[in-house]
Amino acid sequence: MLRCPNCNSKDIGKIGSHQFYCWGCFIELTVNGEKMSVFQVEEDGTLSSLDDLFFEEEMPELHAN
C-alpha cells in the first residue's frame, strides 16, 4: 500500500498510470519503478517539484572550495 511521504496518509487516489494524489495533504505523487517524485499543485493547476524537500539524501552533495 502506498503511503504519502509528507503526511503518511494511506488515502491516496490514482489519477494516472503512474500518478497519485494524496487527499490528506493535497500533493501529487509520480511513481516510476523505484523512483518517486512529489509535487505541490499550484492554484493555476501547474505542478511545483517538492523533491528537494523529501529526497535530499539522494541528491549529490556539493562542497564549496
Q: Please tell me the predicted confidence (pLDDT) of residue 56.
A: 62
4-61 residue pLDDT tens = 989 999 999 999 999 999 999 999 999 988 889 999 999 999 999 999 887 765 444 4
pTM of structure: 0.75
- Domain count of the fold of the chain: 1
Q: Classify residue 61: in a domain, yes or no.
A: no
Q: Classify residue 41: in a domain, yes or no.
A: yes
What is the torsional sign of CA 14, 1, 3, 35?
Answer: negative
31-45 residue pLDDT tens = 988 889 999 999 999
What is the torsional sign of CA 7, 8, 13, 16?
Answer: positive
Q: Classify residue 44: in a domain, yes or no.
A: yes
Pairwise CA distance, residues 4 & 41, whole Å:
15
Q: Classify residue 17: in a domain, yes or no.
A: yes
Pairwise CA distance, residues 34 & 11, whole Å:
20
Owning domain of residue 29: 10-51
